[in-house]
Amino acid sequence: MNAYLYAMQEKSFPPAFEQRMRSQLGDAWNAFANIHSTDSPISIRLNSQKTGAQPIDLLSTPDMHSKIPWTENGYYLKQRPSFTLDPSFHAGAYYVQEASSMLLEQAIKQCVGNHEVVRTLDLCAAPGGKSTHLLSLLSKDSLVVSNEVIRSRATILAENIMKWGYSNVVVTNNDPEDFQRLNGFFDLMVVDAPCSGEGLFRKDAEAMKEWSVDNANLCSLRQQRILHDIWPALKEDGLIIYSTCTYNPEENANNLRKFLEEHDAEIVPLQLDKAWGIEALSIGYQCFPHQVQGEGFYLAVLRKKEAQPGARLRVAKNVFHKPVKLLADYQQWMTPADQTFLQFKDYLLALPASLTIEMEFLASLLKIVSAGTTLGTVKHTKLIPDHALALSIYLNKESFPSIEVDKEEAIAYLRKDVFWKEGLTKGFSSIQYKGFTLGWVNVLDNRLNNLYPAEWRIRMAANS
Ligand code: SAM
């Protein structure tokens, strides 16, 4: 039996989808259909601020990986490892992300660069693939507002942002229309829109079961509404990077064509190497799984040409305060000099000094889930270091004693198991695994208080 027939016995495409794709793809239909009977590629993107030039275990032998051509730090893995049992995964050394969606990198490199200071909104951000990528690509003075409308998903997003370790980011939990309070504020918006998910059919058979013509049409209308809602918050000459993981023109090029009829904007072309196999459409670019090593993905860049008055950053009442006097020498806990420290309730936050006014402005208008890096919790005049500080790319490792652990001990730590090592200094110490900080312990007289966040604890045994 040929691969296509076999695959179709396992999972059948919805007939209306198949009919449209056959006419969209013509002769390429068989190649497209057959690829759905193969395994999805596994890929990761390194956090170069944490890994530096040091390769992580997963990439330690060249035959275990190859580079994703349109990225600097993206790699395919030959097989799927247990990410849960890799301590460097929990340290934020890399993000597990589908390869095609890393095409965002080309849009940023070609249209923004890494020297500009840009106010960025990642509107549909959970679980955090695009936001962590943006943080790696943009200048460190740029602001990234990473937003997710669904509260439970915003919590997951905040965790992934914390692991990535940057401080120029705020996680929000708002509806797209809430951004109309920020007219003319953003230079760049990424709209990785909720879609009918056709591009994920190989990876996720459930997406295929949930697909219907009606649902795809609903998605298209929702995407139009989202673009309409956030448009006023974009500056004149600002950019929108619009993407979906679907092939349906109604959710992609046709949607943008309609938008261009109603708004003064232009499409910004990208230069993509032909050898990558990414198809240039009348509007935007499409990754097909039979042409690239990745799933289905669509991306286009728009520039706003309409006049748009800029935002005035006025704040009636400050949300953040100057920190109370603390015994801890906390300013030494982070390395760069340009961080500023602000207090919110009992939390001491660190963020780039240049972004203080923006943070105040956003906090007065949006529902904030996290802002900057939480350095610690204020207890009277003491400061208890926060897990976010352990994961920060700015942690000054010299300011705390550290405990080196091997893989088994690292997993015991991540499971919140009790463990003990001789010759430790009393007080807060960081746990180090191969140069990556995993978190904190408090060393007492004859035991370690494991401070790994209970809700993040791994539940797998080391040898599973
Ligand atoms: N950008 C994410 C990443 O790279 O990890 C993936 C985003 S996913 C394709 C789309 C997101 O849009 C989901 O997290 C979903 O909860 C959110 N969403 C759903 N309905 C929405 C709406 N009406 N407005 C804005 N976002 C919505």
CATH (domain of 417) = 3.10.450.720
Both 73 and 33 in one domain: the answer is yes
Angle between helices 253-262 and 213-230 (to 10 degrees): 40
- pLDDT, position 5: 47
Alpha-carbon span 148 to 125, nearest angstrom: 5
Q: Does residue 411 have a pLDDT over 60? A: yes
Both 416 and 393 in one domain: the answer is no
- When pLDDT is cut at 50, 70 and 90, the band that residue 455 belongs to is very high
Using the 3D structure, point to which of 304, 337, 369 is the last residue of a domain.
304
Alpha-carbon span 66 to 76, nearest angstrom: 5
Q: How far is the CA of 123 from the centre of ligand 1 (A)?
A: 8
**Does 101 reside within a domain?**
no
Kindly list the protein residues whose Cβ atom lies closer than 6 A to any atom of ligand 1: 101, 124-130, 148-150, 153, 176, 192, 194, 222, 226
Q: Determine the residue of 98, 103, 149, 204 to mutate for testing ligand 1's pocket, defined as the one with the most ligand atoms within 8 A of the Cβ atom.
A: 149
Both 207 and 352 in one domain: the answer is no
Q: How far is the CA of 129 from the centre of ligand 1 (A)?
A: 11
Write out pLDDT tens, residues 316-370: 788 899 998 888 889 999 997 689 999 999 999 999 999 999 999 999 999 999 9
Q: Enter the tokens of residue 232.
A: 């006023």
Q: Whose CA is nearest to atom 16 of ligand 1?
A: 150
Q: How far is the CA of 195 from the centre of ligand 1 (A)?
A: 8
Q: Whose CA is nearest to atom 26 of ligand 1?
A: 124
Q: In what order do the strands lie in the sheet with 74-77?
A: 65-67, 74-77, 42-46, 94-96
Q: How far is the CA of 170 from the centre of ligand 1 (A)?
A: 17
Both 129 and 61 in one domain: the answer is no
80 φ, ψ to 5°? -80, 115
| Interstrand relation of 143-147 and 169-172 (parallel, antiparallel or unpaired) | parallel
Determine whether 458 is exposed, middle or buried from the number of CB atoms within 10 Å of its CB (0-12, 13-18, 19+). Answer: middle
Beta strands in 68-138 (DSSP E): 74-77, 94-96, 119-122
Both 283 and 371 in one domain: the answer is no
The DSSP string of 20-88 is: HHHHHHGGGHHHHHHHTTSPPPEEEEE-HHHHTTSPPGGGSSGGGEEE-TT-SSEEEESS---GGG-HH
Q: How far is the CA of 125 from the centre of ligand 1 (A)?
A: 6
**Does 45 reside within a domain?**
yes
Both 297 and 326 in one domain: the answer is no
Q: How far is the CA of 41 from the centre of ligand 1 (A)?
A: 22
Q: Does residue 173 have a pLDDT over 80? A: yes
| 51-58 contact pairs (CB < 8 A, 24+) | 51/93, 51/94, 54/435, 56/88, 56/93, 56/94, 56/434, 57/86, 57/88, 57/434, 58/86, 58/88, 58/94
Q: Which of 90, 93, 62, 92 is nearest to 76 (CA)?
A: 62
Both 193 and 341 in one domain: the answer is no
Write out pLDDT tens, residues 175-188: 999 999 999 999 99
Both 394 and 404 in one domain: the answer is no
Q: Determine the residue of 124, 161, 222, 228 to mutate for testing ligand 1's pocket, defined as the one with the most ligand atoms within 8 A of the Cβ atom.
A: 124
Both 30 and 153 in one domain: the answer is no
Q: Does residue 3 have a pLDDT over 70? A: no
**Ligand 1 atom having least distance to the Cα of 192:** 1
Place of tokens 């929108």: 240
Using the 3D structure, point to which of 346, 373, 398 is the last residue of a domain.
398
Number of C-beta neighbours around residue 46 at 10 A: 22
**Does 167 reside within a domain?**
yes
Write out pLDDT tens, residues 22-81: 999 999 999 999 999 999 999 999 999 999 866 688 888 777 789 999 999 999 999 899
Helix (H, G, I), strand (E, B) or coil at 157: helix
Q: In what order do the strands lie in the sheet with 382-385?
A: 339-344, 347-352, 373-379, 382-385
Residue-wise burial string across 321-337, b where 16 or more C-beta atoms lie within 10 A, e elsewhere: eebeebebebeebbeee
Q: What is the CATH number of the domain that holds 197?
A: 3.40.50.150
Using the 3D structure, point to which of 304, 337, 359 is the last residue of a domain.
304
Q: Whose CA is nearest to atom 17 of ligand 1?
A: 124
Both 14 and 117 in one domain: the answer is no
Alpha-carbon span 450 to 248, nearest angstrom: 49
Q: Which of 242, 158, 250, 264 is nearest to 144 (CA)?
A: 158
What's the sign of the alpha-carbon dihedral 251, 254, 257, 263?
A: negative
- pLDDT, position 11: 61
- pLDDT, position 344: 95
Q: Does residue 451 have a pLDDT over 90? A: yes
Mean pLDDT of the chain: 93
For the segment 115-129, the average pLDDT, to the nearest whole number, is 97
- Domain containing 141 equals 106-304
- pLDDT, position 417: 92
| Cis before 127 (ω within 30) | yes
Q: Does residue 252 have a pLDDT over 50? A: yes
Q: Which of 147, 142, 136 is nearest to 120 (CA)?
A: 142
Contacts of 194 (CB under 8 A, 6+ apart): 124, 219, 222, 223
The DSSP string of 417-438 is: -----SSPPSEEEEEEETTEEE
In the 8-state DSSP scheme, what is residue 399? G
Beta carbons of 326 and 382 less than 8 angstroms apart: yes
**Does 195 reside within a domain?**
yes
H or E stretch including 446? none
Q: What is the Cβ-side half-sphere exposure of residue 440, based on CA atoms within 13 angstroms?
A: 22
Nearest 10 degrees: Cα torsion 311, 315, 344, 128: -20
Both 296 and 317 in one domain: the answer is no
Q: What is the CATH number of the domain that holds 9?
A: 3.30.70.1170
- pLDDT, position 447: 86
Task: List Cα–Cα distances, 359 to 103, 145, 234, 338, 377, in angstroms.
Answer: 29, 10, 17, 15, 19
Q: How far is the CA of 173 from the centre of ligand 1 (A)?
A: 11
Q: How far is the CA of 86 from the centre of ligand 1 (A)?
A: 27
Highest mean pLDDT among 108-117, 119-128, 421-430: 119-128
For the segment 408-426, the average pLDDT, to the nearest whole number, is 90
For the segment 131-146, the average pLDDT, to the nearest whole number, is 97
- pLDDT, position 2: 47
- How many domains are there within the chain? 4
Q: Enter the tokens of residue 19.
A: 């009919």
Both 321 and 350 in one domain: the answer is yes
- pLDDT, position 445: 87
**Ligand 1 atom having least distance to the Cα of 190:** 1
Q: Whose CA is nearest to atom 24 of ligand 1?
A: 176
Q: Enter the tokens of residue 163.
A: 């692991």
